[in-house]
C-alpha cells in the first residue's frame, strides 16, 4: 500500500479540502501516515491570503522535498503561482488548484508510474467536493468542518480569494445532509458549516436559513455552527432559529473590517457602519446573549486617525467576544494593491496595539461577567497546562473551558460552573 502524508496551511476551508483530498486518496488505496519520512506521497495544501503565508509554505515545501516522495502542492498558492513554483521548490512533482481536486489522485498515480511533472489549475467555477471516508472517522473527532459553499464573488478590494477560489457555488442540500448523518453516526457531536460567505448559500430555492432548518429537522447533530458570514448577506432569520433550537449555537463570526464608511467603501465591502450596527442590534434583540466575533484590518490605505477612531467606536458599541486583527498588507493581484500603501508600518503597529488592548479588555469583561454561572461544554481534547492535565471543552458561545476531572470522555456534553479565568479560558467545575 502506498503511503500518503498531508499538511494543511491557512483557513478552515483548506482544512476541509485536505480532508476531502485524503478521503479521495484513501478510497484509491493510499494509507495515511503521520510523518513525511514514511510517505511515498506528500500533499501540502497552501494559503495565499498574505505574502508571508506563501513564504512559509515555500520554506516548508523545500524542507519536505528532502524526502524521497512524490511532492504535491495544492490550494490557493498553487492556483496563484502555478508552474513558477517548480523554480521555487526543488523536487516538486505536481501543482493542483482548488477547483481540480477530482483530477488529483489520477495525476499522482501517473507520476508514481513515471509520468512527467504536471500543473492542473483550470478554474471551472463548478467544482464541489463530497466528504468521503478517510478511515479516520472511527472514534473520530467530536468537532468537524463541512463545506456548504465554495468560492466568493464579493471582490473586497484587499482580498485575493475570489481570484483563486472562483465563483460562489452552493452544494446539493441532500448531499450535505447525507454527510451530516455520516459524521453524526461516526461520533461527531458538533459540525461547523463552512464557506467564504455561508449566507450566500442558495440551491434549488433553498437559502441558508432553509438549509439550517433542514439539517436541524432531519438529523441528530447536537451542535451546529457556521463560518464565515458577510454582513451584506446576513439573514436575521438565523437568530430566530438560534432562539427556537439551541442546537444552533448562539455565536456568529461577522467580520466588519473597518469602522469608517469611507474606508469600507474603498474596501468594497458593500455595507456602512450604520448597517453593521443595525444587524448587531437586531440580532441582540432576538438573542440578547449572542456571542459575536469579528475580523478587523488597521492601516488600510489613507486611513486617518478619525477613521481609526470610528473602528474603535464600533468595537465599544458591539462588544465582541473576540476578534482576529490584522495590519493591512498589500496583496498583488487585488484592487487595493493599486492604492498607495501610505500608512507607515509604525502607525499600523501602534493602531494594532491600541485595537488589541481594547478588544482584550472587552473580552475579559464579558468573560468575568459570567463567572459563577452554569454553562454546558462539549469535551474535545485533553490539554496539559504546566504540570496539570485538563479536559478542554467549549461552550455553545464558543468560549473555552478547562476542567480538571479525570473520569471524563471526549465527546461528553457536561454542565459546569464557571469558577475562574486563566488568560481568556474559563476554569470550570463539573456540576
Choose which of 123, 154, 240, 425 interacts with ligand SF4 (CB under 6 A).
Answer: 154
Helix (H, G, I), strand (E, B) or coil at 348: helix
Stretch that binds ligand SF4, among 72-80, 88-96, 156-164, 340-348 (CB under 6 A): 156-164
**How far is Cα 429 from Cα 414, in angstroms, rounded to an integer?**
10
Q: Least distance (Å) from ligand SF4 to the CB of residue 157?
A: 9
Per the CB < 8 A criterion, the answer to whether 160 and 331 are in contact is: yes
Nearer to ligand SF4, 168 or 379 (CB): 168
Q: Does 230 bind ligand SF4 (CB under 6 A)?
A: yes
Per the CB < 8 A criterion, the answer to whether 389 and 413 are in contact is: no
Q: Does 264 bind ligand SF4 (CB under 6 A)?
A: no
Q: How many helices (H) and strands (E) does the chain have?
A: 13, 21
Q: Which residues contact 12 (CB under 8 A, 6 or more apart)?
A: 145, 192, 194, 227
SS (H, E, C) 80-118: HHHHHHHHHCCCEEEEECCCCHHHHHHHHHHHHCCCCCE
Nearer to ligand SF4, 62 or 154 (CB): 154
Choose which of 26, 134, 147, 196 interacts with ligand SF4 (CB under 6 A).
Answer: 196
Angle at 38 between CA 32 and CA 40, to 5 degrees: 75
What would you measure as the largest C-alpha separation in the chain, in angstroms? 64
Nearer to ligand SF4, 41 or 292 (CB): 292
b/e code 362-387 from CB counts within 10 Å (16+ = b):
bbeebbeebeeeebbbbbbeeeeeee
Per the CB < 8 A criterion, the answer to whether 421 and 366 are in contact is: no
Nearer to ligand SF4, 77 or 159 (CB): 159
Q: Does 159 bind ligand SF4 (CB under 6 A)?
A: yes
Q: Least distance (Å) from ligand SF4 to the CB of residue 25?
A: 27
Angle at 87 between CA 82 and CA 90, to 5 degrees: 110
Q: Least distance (Å) from ligand SF4 to the CB of residue 156?
A: 3
User: How many residues interact with ligand SF4 (rule CB under 6 A)?
Assistant: 10
Choose which of 152, 212, 215, 403 interacts with ligand SF4 (CB under 6 A).
Answer: 152
Stretch that binds ligand SF4, among 12-20, 64-72, 152-160, 409-417 (CB under 6 A): 152-160
Choose which of 110, 122, 155, 383 interacts with ligand SF4 (CB under 6 A).
Answer: 155
Q: Does 162 bind ligand SF4 (CB under 6 A)?
A: yes
- Restricted to residues 62-121, the positions that interact with ligand SF4 (CB under 6 A) are none
Site residues (CB under 6 A) for ligand SF4? 152, 154-156, 159, 161-162, 196-197, 230
Amino acid at each position: 500500500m502506498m503511503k500518503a502524508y498531508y499538511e494543511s496551511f491557512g483557513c478552515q476551508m483548506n482544512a476541509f479540502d485536505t480532508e476531502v483530498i485524503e478521503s479521495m486518496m484513501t478510497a484509491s488505496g493510499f494509507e495515511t501516515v503521520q510523518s513525511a519520512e514514511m510517505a511515498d506521497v506528500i500533499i501540502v495544501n497552501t494559503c495565499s491570503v498574505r505574502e508571508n503565508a506563501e513564504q512559509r509554505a515555500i520554506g516548508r515545501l523545500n524542507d519536505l522535498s528532502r524526502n524521497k516522495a512524490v511532492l504535491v502542492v495544492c490550494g490557493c498558492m498553487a492556483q496563484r503561482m502555478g508552474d513558477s513554483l517548480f523554480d521555487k521548490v526543488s523536487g516538486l512533482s505536481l501543482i493542483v488548484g482548488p477547483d481540480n481536486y477530482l483530477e488529483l489522485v489520477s495525476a499522482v498515480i501517473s507520476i508514481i508510474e513515471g509520468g512527467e511533472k504536471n500543473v492542473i489549475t483550470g478554474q471551472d467555477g463548478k467544482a464541489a467536493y463530497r466528504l468521503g471516508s478517510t478511515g479516520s472517522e472511527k472514534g473520530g473527532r467530536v468537532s468537524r468542518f463541512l463545506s456548504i459553499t465554495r468560492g466568493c464573488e464579493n471582490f473586497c478590494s484587499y482580498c485575493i480569494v475570489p481570484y483563486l477560489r472562483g465563483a460562489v457555488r452552493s452544494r446539493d442540500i441532500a448531499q450535505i445532509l447525507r454527510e451530516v448523518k455520516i459524521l453524526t453516526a461516526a461520533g461527531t457531536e458538533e459540525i461547523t458549516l463552512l464557506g467564504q460567505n455561508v449566507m450566500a448559500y442558495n440551491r434549488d430555492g433553498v437559502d441558508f436559513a432553509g438549509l439550517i432548518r433542514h439539517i436541524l429537522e432531519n438529523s441528530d447533530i447536537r451542535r451546529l455552527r457556521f463560518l464565515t458570514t458577510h454582513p451584506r448577506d446576513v439573514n436575521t432569520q438565523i437568530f430566530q432559529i438560534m432562539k427556537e433550537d439551541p442546537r444552533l449555537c448562539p455565536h456568529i463570526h461577522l467580520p466588519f473590517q473597518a469602522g469608517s464608511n469611507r474606508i469600507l467603501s474603498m474596501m468594497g465591502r458593500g455595507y456602512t457602519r450604520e448597517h453593521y450596527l443595525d444587524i448587531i442590534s437586531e440580532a441582540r434583540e432576538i438573542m440578547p446573549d449572542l456571542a459575536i466575533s469579528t475580523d478587523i484590518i488597521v492601516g488600510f490605505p489613507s486611513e486617518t486617525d478619525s477613521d481609526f477612531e470610528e473602528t474603535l467606536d464600533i468595537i465599544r458599541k458591539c462588544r465582541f467576544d473576540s476578534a482576529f486583527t490584522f495590519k493591512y498588507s498589500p496583496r498583488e493581484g487585488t484592487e487595493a494593491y493599486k492604492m498607495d500603501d501610505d500608512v507607515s508600518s509604525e502607525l499600523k503597529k501602534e493602531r494594532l496595539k491600541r485595537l488589541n488592548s481594547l478588544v482584550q479588555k472587552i473580552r475579559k469583561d464579558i468573560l468575568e461577567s459570567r463567572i459563577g454561572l452554569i454553562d454546558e461544554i462539549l469535551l474535545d481534547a485533553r490539554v496539559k497546562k504546566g504540570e496539570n492535565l485538563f479536559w478542554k471543552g467549549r461552550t455553545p458561545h464558543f468560549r473555552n473551558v478547562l476542567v480538571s476531572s479525570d473520569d471524563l470522555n471526549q465527546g461528553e456534553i457536561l454542565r459546569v460552573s464557571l469558577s475562574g479565568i486563566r488568560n481568556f479560558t474559563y476554569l470550570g467545575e463539573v456540576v
